[in-house]
């Protein structure tokens, strides 16, 4: 554990040193790029609500809450749809063949391309932002769940049938869903990362006067690279925390795999 923390801080420290050196040797212009020494100060001021920034509406805690609200709306919908459809499509080859052309037609379209449609259908609302996040997150969850279900070994299904699990609901609940959970959690982590990245795109078109993505755009108009990077840092920190939460949840639910897989 101590070794992991040491490597973590060494990695971050080395990156900051290289960034600082690059700024002072090559850039030397605060309107082009801010050095980490300035960014860390600005970030702390934005977190505590320094009046210098608060007067312009820059306050990271409030913007974090709005972005997390958009994220939860979109990602929760993606989990519900992705897991349900993936479970059905993985269990039924007929459903999979029916959905395949639709999924592969829509999946390659970047979430940002849906912004005009979201505005036309849902106007400038929080639901429109959630829709963009949903589009980005649903396919990793759906496809990984579908793969997990369709990859359950036949011997487990046959063993369950031998033991009396003749009903589809029992088979799904006792065998298929538990066996596909590892693949589902892989999709969950990938989908969460994509969803959180889509938060920025979803907020750029101004669904509200708050949000990390919206404030990045606003800071760009103010020619404040230190504020832009501070908000980028906030996005990165939350993304890291979310991934660690899902990773911990997966480790807790998948204790039974220890000793059976390489970790």
Residues 6+ apart with CB under 8 A from 122: 128, 131
Asked if the structure places residue 27 within a domain, the reply is no
Q: How many residues does the chain have?
A: 263
Contact 25, 209 (CB under 8 A): no
pTM of the model: 0.84
Asked if the structure places residue 5 within a domain, the reply is no
Place of tokens 């700024």: 23
Under-50 pLDDT residues of the chain: 262
Residue 223's SS3 state is: coil
Q: What is the pLDDT of residue 81?
A: 95
Helices (H), the chain: 2-22, 36-48, 51-54, 60-91, 93-106, 115-122, 126-150, 154-162, 168-171, 177-204, 212-221, 225-253
Residues 6+ apart with CB under 8 A from 119: 128, 205
Average pLDDT value over all residues in the chain: 85
User: Domain containing 180: what range?
Assistant: 35-256
**In the beta sheet, which residues pair with residue 120?**
none
Asked if the structure places residue 30 within a domain, the reply is no
Phi/psi for 244 (5° steps) reads: -65, -35
Asked if the structure places residue 15 within a domain, the reply is no
Q: What is the pLDDT of residue 163?
A: 67
Query: Which of 136, 152, 117, 142 minimizes the C-alpha distance to 201?
Result: 136
Asked if the structure places residue 48 within a domain, the reply is yes
CATH code assigned at 204: 1.10.3720.10
Q: What is the pLDDT of residue 262?
A: 45
Q: What is the pLDDT of residue 69?
A: 93
Asked if the structure places residue 164 within a domain, the reply is yes
Residue 258's SS3 state is: strand
Count of domains for the chain? 1
Q: What is the pLDDT of residue 185?
A: 87
Asked if the structure places residue 26 within a domain, the reply is no
Asked if the structure places residue 1 within a domain, the reply is no
């Amino acid at each position: 554990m101590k070794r992991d923390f040491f490597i973590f801080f060494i990695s971050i420290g080395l990156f900051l040193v290289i960034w600082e050196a690059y700024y002072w040797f090559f850039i030397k212009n605060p309107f082009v790029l801010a050095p980490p020494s300035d960014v860390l100060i600005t970030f702390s001021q934005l977190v505590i609500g320094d009046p210098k920034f608060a007067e312009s509406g820059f306050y990271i805690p409030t913007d974090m809450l709005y972005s997390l609200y958009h994220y939860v709306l979109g990602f929760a919908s993606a989990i519900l749809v992705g897991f349900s459809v993936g479970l059905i499509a993985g269990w039924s080859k007929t459903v999979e063949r029916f959905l395949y052309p639709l999924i592969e037609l829509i999946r390659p379209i970047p979430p940002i391309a849906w912004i005009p449609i979201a505005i036309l259908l849902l106007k400038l609302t929080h639901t429109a932002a959630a829709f963009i996040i949903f589009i980005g997150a649903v396919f990793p969850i759906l496809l990984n769940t579908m793969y997990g279900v369709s990859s359950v070994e036949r011997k487990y299904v046959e063993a369950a049938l031998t033991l009396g699990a003749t009903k589809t609901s029992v088979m799904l609940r006792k065998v298929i869903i538990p066996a596909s959970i590892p693949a589902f959690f892989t999709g969950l982590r990938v989908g969460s990362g994509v969803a959180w990245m889509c938060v920025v795109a979803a907020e750029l078109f101004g669904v509200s006067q708050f949000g990390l993505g919206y404030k990045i755009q606003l800071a760009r108009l103010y020619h404040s690279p230190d504020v832009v990077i501070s908000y980028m840092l906030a996005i990165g920190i939350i993304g890291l925390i979310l991934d660690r939460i899902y990773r911990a949840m997966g480790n807790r639910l998948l204790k039974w795999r220890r000793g059976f897989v390489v970790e």
